[in-house]
Amino acid sequence: MTQVTTAPPAAARRAAATAAPGPTGRLRALLAMSGNPLDYLTGLRDQYGPVVRIPLGWRELYMINDPEAVHEVLVTSQRNFRKDVMSAGRGKWAAPLEVILGNGLVTSDGSFHRQQRRLIQPMFHHERIAGYGRAFAELSDDIQSGWRDGGRLDLHVEMTELTLAIVARTLFDVSLDSDVARTVRTAIPRHEGPMRWDSLPFARQLAKLPLPGNKRFYAGRASLHDIVDQLMAERRRGDGQGADLLSLLLAARDADTGEPMEDGQVRDEAITLLMAGHETTASSLTWAYHLLGSHPEARERMHREIDEVLGGRLPTVEDLPHLVWTDAVLSEAMRLYPPIMGLARRPLDDFEVCGHRIPKDTFVGIIPYVVHRDPTWWPQPELFAPQRWLEHPPPDGSADELTGHAVRPGRPRFAYVPFGGGPRQCIGNTFTRMEGVMALATLGRHWEFEPVPGFDVDPLARITIRPRHGLPVTARRR
């Protein structure tokens, strides 16, 4: 006779779940998180496992490290979680970055977010993004025109200028020397005031203080709002046929009601696309060059591929399937240094994951840097090894035990989350990947970069992960 068992009732399951392990000491955790938290969080994963409870201010941060648990939060049970994880007082909640991005795609929630996603998703269809390929290549070519052989560059500054030029062209159809680009470049103090502590406890209280950094931030935000409002007014005076993303946002209509977005919402979405699509790609390219600088064999292999595929000309979208190693370099750079610091969620009800209880209204954090360097899923996790991403072994017999590891069937999909995952996956992920590979290929036709001897690159984790003191290199013409 077959024995039939029934699942225990929900109350019994909750009773069986245990409290998540973690460190004690709220002040120590707060200091570690407000400094450079990457080593701290990685060490907690090693010590405590797939779910770690971290005391942070008056709340608890639950760090989720297991890929299946990440899938549960981002996909299976995603409607049980919200983005508004920061207490705004009197029972209200706010999403990190709401202070700058407003109620755009990154910060909005629930049915409103789903509605906005449906409106904006067609603008990021692969065929439309492919139409920007020429701009990616031409602007990458322009940025290197002022470089000289043997000259010293800060590649983080250069890559930030490049991605600013790209987003200015594709989002607003303006040039890098326009008032728009100058405002974006200078208006927002990115590493002080509300942008410095936005995901920490007391953030909303600190942001209200009359501190110099806060004053500069709010003045810059007002300037950015003004210039986007001016651009919207210009589009409305035109014929409405522009191909830039701002024109498309203004032309978008709700499929059910036929109504356009309100102007304030268009502005929030435009600023979200501007900020999210600018610094993240710049950081990814910067880290790719840092890693290539310390792995000359990988750099030489990329240059050989670029030479063979392009023959000295600018890349096109049609070249992308043949730039296999270049794409693998970008993928591996985003594994070791993901574009964003973390993904934040707030459970609407008590939740159980990996046998541990997570209470409602706590702070659930998924830190891609920590997940991407877990030896359970990534052999030799600290090693820069683009061959992990090769679907086919190279014909020259240079394959090793890491070749193809990242793309083998059966590997957990959510062991790699540089763009998040599920219904809230970054809407610009295809844009970013295409932009990054075409920039590497364009610049790699003529240039290679030598690290500055004695300079230690120190990661700084805030909203993005960037080199604290930039990335100085010596440019060498190939």
Buried residues in 310-336 as b, exposed as e (16+ CB within 10 A) = beeebbebebbeebbbbbbbbbbbbbb
Query: Tokens representing 321?
Result: 């399937």
3-state DSSP of 38-107: HHHHHHHHHHHCCEEEEEECCEEEEEECCHHHHHHHHHHCHHHEECCCEEEECCEEECCCHHHHCCCCCC
What is the residue-wise DSSP string for 322-358?
G-HHHHHHHHHHHHHS-SBS-EEEEESS-EEETTEEE
How are beta strands 81-82 and 343-347 bridged, if at all? antiparallel
- Report d(CA 159, CA 163) in Å as an integer: 6
Report the candidate in 306, 338, 296, 301 with the shortest Cα–Cα distance to residue 140: 306
* Under 8 Å between Cβ of 465 and 279: no
- Report d(CA 258, CA 216) in Å as an integer: 39
> What is the SS3 assignment for 451?
strand
263-276 vs 110-120: helix crossing angle, rounded to 10: 80
340: phi then psi, degrees, rounded to nearest 5: -120, 150
Which amino acid does the sequence have at 443? Answer: L
CA–CA distances in Å: residue 77 to residues 113, 206, 446: 16, 33, 48
Give the side-chain half-sphere CA count within 13 A for 12.
4
CA–CA distances in Å: residue 336 to residues 67, 99, 314, 333, 368: 16, 29, 28, 5, 9
Strands (E), 140-274: 152-154
Query: Tokens representing 131?
Result: 């139409």
* Under 8 Å between Cβ of 346 and 355: no
> What is the SS3 assignment for 154?
strand
Helix (DSSP H) and strand (DSSP E) numbers for the chain:
20, 15
What is the residue-wise DSSP string for 192-206?
STHHHHTTSTTHHHH
Task: Tell me: is residue 426 an annotated ligand-binding position.
Answer: yes
Binding-site entries for heme: 426
Binding-site entries: 426
